[in-house]
């Protein structure tokens, strides 16, 4: 159980720190608007994750109750989707690019709403949770719904720590990225390693 949860923390950490629309958005907002606004964006994004966790928790729970073979197919789908994501990352440019040009100044409430809607209205997040979370169910005794909420809480906590650090250290992080071009390549391959590693564990 502990080993599975630690693996989940490690995988979540790599995925949260790897450059993507969400953390780049937090970075640009914290640079342009300030730390408070950066944290407001983070809170919005994390609140959206609760919605996705609930959708996946109750959906997968219903699937397991009805047919465990379908759940097995879901896990195979999840592994296949993670391999697809690994391929997409492999094809992508390793260079981390972001721009603060044309970034409008907004209030904390506006940025909270933006972060929340960015997350909740993105169907790719639900698909990702559906592919990622079932691979880390860790107990035969606890209900599936409870396990999903535990995983969701861990994912949100890990993401909040990393995204919050990005909001707090926005200027320093942007300078570091600009001075160290190889960081994008390291994070790219770390992300590929996590996706492929989890998928292979399922298939093997």
Residue boundaries of the structural domains of the chain: 2-94+107-203
Summarize pLDDT for 142-200 with one digit per residue, the tens. 998 999 999 999 999 999 999 999 999 887 888 887 788 788 888 889 999 999 998 88
Structure tokens at 203: 């298939």
Least confident interval from 8-12, 47-51, 90-94, 194-198: 90-94
pLDDT band at 98 (very low <50, low <70, confident <90, very high): low
Q: How far apart are CA 197 and CA 204, in angstroms?
A: 10
Other CB atoms within a 10 A radius of the CB of residue 137 amount to 18
Q: How far apart are CA 195 and CA 41, in angstroms?
A: 26
What's the pTM? 0.88
In the numeric block, the tokens 């998928």 are attached to 199
For the chain, give the mean pLDDT.
Answer: 88
């Amino acid at each position: 159980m502990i080993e599975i949860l630690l693996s989940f923390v490690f995988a979540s950490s790599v995925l949260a720190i790897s450059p993507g629309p969400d953390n780049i958005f937090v970075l640009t907002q914290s640079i342009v608007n300030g730390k408070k606004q950066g944290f407001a964006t983070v809170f919005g994004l994390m609140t959206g994750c609760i919605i996705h966790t609930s959708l996946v928790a109750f959906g997968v729970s219903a699937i397991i109750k009805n047919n465990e073979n379908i759940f097995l197919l879901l896990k195979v789908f999840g592994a296949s989707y993670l391999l697809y994501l690994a391929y997409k990352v492999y094809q992508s440019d390793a260079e981390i690019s972001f721009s603060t040009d044309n970034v409008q100044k907004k209030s904390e409430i506006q940025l909270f709403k933006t972060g929340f809607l960015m997350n909740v209205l993105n169907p790719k997040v639900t698909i990702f949770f559906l592919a990622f979370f079932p691979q880390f169910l860790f107990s035969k005794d606890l209900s599936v719904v409870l396990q999903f909420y535990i995983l969701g809480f861990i994912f949100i906590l890990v993401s909040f720590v990393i995204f919050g650090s990005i909001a707090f250290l926005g200027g320093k992080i942007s300078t570091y990225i600009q001075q160290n071009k190889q960081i994008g390549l390291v994070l790219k391959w770390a992300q590929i390693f996590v996706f492929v590693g989890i998928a292979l564990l399922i298939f093997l």
